[in-house]
Amino acid sequence: MEIKVLGPGCPKCKKLYEEATKAVSASGVADVSVSKVERIGEIAAHGVMMTPALVIDGVVKAQGQVPDARQIATWIVEAQAEK
Amino acid sequence: MNRDEVKKFAWLAGIFLVAYFLPLGDPKVTGAIFEAFRLLQWYAIHHTLACVVPAMFIAGAIATFLNQASVMRYLGPDAPRFLAYGVASVAGIILAVCSCSVLPMFAGIYTMGAGLGPATAFLYSGPAINVMAIFLSARVLGIEIGVARTVGAVVFAIVLGLIMSFLFRSGERKRIEAAPAPTPPAATRPLWKTALFFAAMVLFLVFSDWYNTNDVTVKLADGTEIRANIRYDTRDALDIQRYEDTGRLATEVERIPKNRVAEVAPVPSFTQSVHEVKWYLAGAMGLLVLLMVWRWFTRDEVRAWMHATWDFGLLIVPLLFGGVFVTGFVGGLLPEQAVAALVGGNSLASNFIASFVGMIWYFATLTEIPIVEMLTRLGMGQGPALALLLAGPALSLPSILVIYKVIGARKTAVFCLLTVVMSTAVGLVFGSFVG
């Protein structure tokens, strides 16, 4: 599973990245990669207008806000179940 | 090493080189170091508690309690075109609280939202109209330039956006399908409560930040009286400009040591009367804010608000105070004649140079304000100061490169050109009114 954190690197983006990594270990789902996307063009290509944004397997789950680790973990589990 | 580490290393290496080579024997350099601390003290005494700190709480509250998604809706693909221009030109107040979010939103509005016109309008006005920029400009640079900056940014953002979309009306770009925005959480309190809460906070800032005319009568220890305007007031000295018999301010600034000053009496006026009771008025607003927080907000909301405020503090305070210190140091070294020759007065050339430099130069968040303040002290005219304030934060070489990747070379070139032309024009008009 691939998780992307979109944002040019402001404090909120860093916070979201932290929450996402926490969520991955909390969810217990194996084989999840978390990466940062910082280039404006790539961010826009995901159809995101507000940063930071969270994308799980190509689906925009949140934008313009920082969901907490618990919320992200449930999304990870859901995405895993759909596979 | 990743990019962050390289950056940190460059900082450390830079500080090391400065420390290693700083010629402390040179009286100009020691004077400049002294000036740097003097400017820092001036900021600490006069601008920090009354302006920067409350503005940080407001910025934090905007980020926490105002729904950015609902503003973004008016800049989305289905937004009515003309409404979009209006919203884009003022949306910076709510959307640009974090300066790093401006470029992604610009790209978003352009590629999947309301299009090129509103996107460029947003980019032009955004950095100039966040709460902190508005209040700090008015406080540090004077009320006229603070108002002119805000109004100029909003009005010319619309003009600039309209021109851009007219020039490039034919080229339909390929649009990116916007991801469906996740449904925003339902509002937890009625709009009027939120509005009242923000009104009280802004009024707090208006009062705590109330304009000091700084027109005074200085009585010296030897009995002479001087009608003057205070430029800087630090613990050991007063920097003043005398009023000449014509009623105009003298151009040169004099420094009077505090031990020669017997008394400083403000010249009475309405503005000044309000200034004298400003802390009572601000205090009343502060109590109102506390009352509302206590009655209307949950503990979690307040915690989120404080957290956001702290994040802004961490981001802005080092930049601002570092910027003030460096500005004071460089200002101490710059020869006045050179600055005055380049951007003095209110000529077309001065305004153009100020706009052009502003377009290229990268200003870290809010540092444009101390820099412009320093330049005006060295002889920069009011018009060019406004031109620099308008063009400066809107564009910089790094942001031009990003914009180029998003909208292409031709549109970027036209946007830069329009920004410079527009800022020059506004500077000229403003300079001829107040100069």
**Bridge pairing between strands A2-6 and A53-56:** antiparallel
pLDDT tens sequence across B235-258: 888 888 888 777 777 777 788 888
> Do B86 and B74 contact (CB within 8 A), yes or no?
no
For range B371-378, the mean pLDDT: 88
B107 has pLDDT over 90: no
Per-residue CA distances from B254 to B35, B205, B250 (Å): 15, 31, 10
Task: Look up residue B263 and give its two tokens.
Answer: 């008394």
pLDDT of residue B94: 80
Note the pLDDT of residue B344: 84
| pLDDT, position B184 | 57
Write down the pLDDT at residue B186. 61
Rounded Cα–Cα distance for residues B369 and B208 (Å): 19
Instruction: Please compute the mean of the pLDDT values over residues B89-96 and round it to a whole number.
Output: 83
Touching B: A residues 22-51, CB under 8 Å? 40-41, 43-51
Listing from the earlier edge strand, what are the strands of the sheet with B254-257? Answer: B254-257, B237-242, B225-233, B215-220, B261-266
Instruction: Calculate the alpha carbon distances from B318 to B305, B351, B374 in Å.
Output: 20, 30, 19
Whether chain B has a CB inside 8 Å of the CB on A11: the answer is yes
State yes or no: ipTM above 0.90. Answer: no
Series of mean pLDDT values for 10-residue runs along chain A (83 residues): 86 87 88 87 83 88 85 89 80
For residue B329, CA distances in Å to A21, B290, B343, B370, B373 come to: 43, 40, 20, 12, 13
Q: How far is the alpha carbon of B187 from chain A, nearest alpha carbon, in Å?
A: 15
How far is it, in rounded angstroms, from Cα B301 to Cα B61? Answer: 10
Environment class of B32 (CB within 10 Å of its CB; exposed 0-12, middle 13-18, buried 19+): middle
| Chain B CB within 8 Å of residue A68 CB | no
Residues of chain B whose beta carbon is less than 8 angstroms from a beta carbon of chain A are: 68-69, 72, 75-76, 98, 100-101, 103-105, 107-113, 176-182, 311, 314-315, 402, 405-406
Q: Do A43 and B104 count as a contact with CB atoms less than 8 A apart?
A: yes
pLDDT tens digits along B298-353: 888 898 889 888 888 887 888 888 889 988 898 888 887 888 888 888 889 999 99
* pLDDT of residue B182 exceeding 70: no
Report pLDDT for B187: 64
**Å between B228 CA and nearest CA of chain A:** 45
What's the pLDDT band for B174 if we cut at 50, 70, 90?
A: low
Q: How many CB atoms lie within 10 A of CB B398?
A: 10
Q: Among residues B344, B175, B207, which one has the least CA distance to residue B281?
A: B207
Residue of B nearest to A52 (CA): B101
B123-137 confidence digits (pLDDT tens): 988 888 888 888 888
pLDDT digits (tens, 9 = 90+) for A10-19: 778 888 999 9
Give the predicted TM-score (pTM) of the model.
0.81
Which of A12, A40, A60 faces B179 most closely, judged by CB atoms? A60
Instruction: State how far residue B107 is from chain A, nearest Cα, in angstroms.
Output: 6
What percent of chain B is modeled with pLDDT above 90?
18
